[in-house]
Structure 1
Amino acid sequence: MNEKIRTIVVDDEQLARRGLLVRLAQFEQIELIQECSSGREALAAIQEHKPDLVLLDIQMPGLSGFDVLRKLNEKNITMPAVVFVTAYDQYAIRAFEVRALDYLLKPVDEERLTQTLERITAELSGRREKEHQAKLLDLVSDMTGEDCEDILQRLAAGQELTQDNYPEHIAIKESGEITRVAISAIEWIDAAGDYMCIHACNETHILRRTMKELEKELNPKSFQRIHRSAIVNLSQVEKLCSRQNGEYHLILQNGEELKVSRSYKDKIKQLILGN
């Protein structure tokens, strides 16, 4: 790509913005067309200048970086290539690698910036630009107006942003008492006839319900059937082991070992490798 990459830099912190501009000045292909100190200023600049690239801070008062993207989508403004800029390194890597979107950590490292701009240059050549924009739009459509820090933390934990109507707790009646068990705390579930054994936090709760009924209350992105009579919380899986007889077993973080039936083996392997 021989043309200049028309770029807008957005950051509410002047020092951070200036530091990034100094780094960018070393790259001949970058043409800075505006720097913005707020989300609202960025929104107007993107609408006016239609840049190729926006280096977009996430945490800003008023409109966050995520809010800017959502507003662009609402106004049907073509999405530029976007590189997120964040100081939240504990979130950033998982948050944006989940969607294969690029990011820069503050303070911006020159080597990392070089890699990012090489990637953006390739995308703007037309080979992957539409794919990049689709991922941005996917992120926007998932945000549903939530607080951006909450979004970052959920992505960092490997959670999806879509609003699925799955309960956060399950009520279990035992010996005249009703116990509320957090769905996220469930390690695995096994069946005994019409009863379910819910294993959570080193305790086992007995629930009168069928496996099929219970599955409807569990997010399939987090819980997976591994056997006709067993469901596991994927976040609790430590490793997948194969035995000499061809059987597969899951080892959970608590040391529990669960057998995987042959019919679920391939799917479990795919899910574990994907996580």
Structure 2
Amino acid sequence: MPFTALIIDDEALARQELQYLLERAGGVEVLGQGTNGIEAVELIRTHKPDVVFLDVQMPGLDGFGVLKKLLDRKIQMPQVVFATAFNQYAVRAFEVNAVDYLLKPFDRKRVMQTIEKATARLSAPAESAGDARLDALLRLMEEQAQAAQTPKVNTGKVIVRAQSRLLLVDQKDICFASIEEGTISVFTQTVEGHSNCRTLEELMEQLNPEMFWRAHRSFLVNIQHIREVVPWFKSSYQLRMDDPKRTEIPVSRAQTKRLRELFNL
């Protein structure tokens, strides 16, 4: 029997993409969508879904704020799947009280894994330690608020391992970075090497967010090094970079809107 779900995200394309993947996968009945944290609280109160797919970063009341509101108002807490692009605290929080987390742009196989986890969690006996898990989640929320107030030092440099050397690369010189089988590769006009970071999200924290963009789940690009936007199949696009190989990078469906905003397409 399918479980019921809500999708909460302030980005319309992200909501549509996730609903499309959930419906394709089967086993999930999407009851509705919400565009912000205030809507999320009311939708959860009204529909009482089994699972809520909850964006962490929303203007106003964010994903963590939604959970706090549910606790404060004693509204039945659904199982939670966090959705995030860069927020490391969402990744930590799923270990406390969430079924799983999904990184944007969404990946079909990863969504399938999340559905399996949610189904297993819902069929398992209720946990006696639920209150303690919620308390731990609230502590994480407080840590997030404190961390947000702590200014981060950005040197403008990134360490790249190339030919047994540790090179300090100026981030403005990075054309793009990619991840494959857990290894992050960094490309400039003159250097190809590897980052010590474990995820693209971790690398992104070292970079200027106004300069770098997560065009695809597996690619992070420097907007200043995009040489050409190439129309592709079914209203999709590829980016041709200005590295020596003129690498072509796909733009995920969820990021097409951002691409159009960047270049007024």
Scaled by the length of structure 1, the TM-score of the pair is 0.48
Distance 1:10 1:63 in 2: 12
Structure 1: gaps spanning 5 or more residues: 155-275
- Residue in structure 2 matching 1:40, options 38, 41, 57: 38
Cross-structure match for 1:26: 24
- Total equivalences in the alignment: 150
Cross-structure match for 2:141: 143
Distance 2:94 2:32 in 1: 27
Change (3 A) 1:22 1:125: same
Q: 1:111 and 2:109 equivalent?
A: yes
- Displacement, 1:78? 1.4
Q: Look up the SS of the partner of 2:110 in the other structure.
A: helix
Q: RMSD of aligned C-alpha atoms?
A: 3.0
Change (3 A) 1:144 1:96: closer
Change (3 A) 1:30 1:48: same
1:1-275 pair list within 5 angstroms:
2=1, 4-88=2-86, 91=88, 94-96=91-93, 98-99=95-96, 101=98, 102-127=100-125, 135-140=133-138, 142-144=140-142, 147=145, 150=148
Change (3 A) 1:130 1:78: farther
- Displacement, 1:110? 1.0
Q: Look up the SS of the partner of 2:5 in the other structure.
A: strand
Q: Look up the SS of the partner of 1:69 in the other structure.
A: helix
Distance 1:57 1:150 in 2: 17
Change (3 A) 1:125 1:9: same
Structure 2 residue identity aligned to 1:13: E
Distance 1:53 1:5 in 2: 7
Structure 2 contact 97–134 (Cα < 8 Å) conserved: no
Seq. identity, %: 39
Structure 1 residue identity aligned to 2:20: V
Change (3 A) 1:112 1:130: farther
- Displacement, 1:100? 6.8
Scaled by the length of structure 2, the TM-score of the pair is 0.50
Which string of whole-angstrom CA distances, capped at 9 and with x for unpartnered residues, describes residues 74-129 of structure 1? 0011110000000016x268524653731000011111111111111011013356
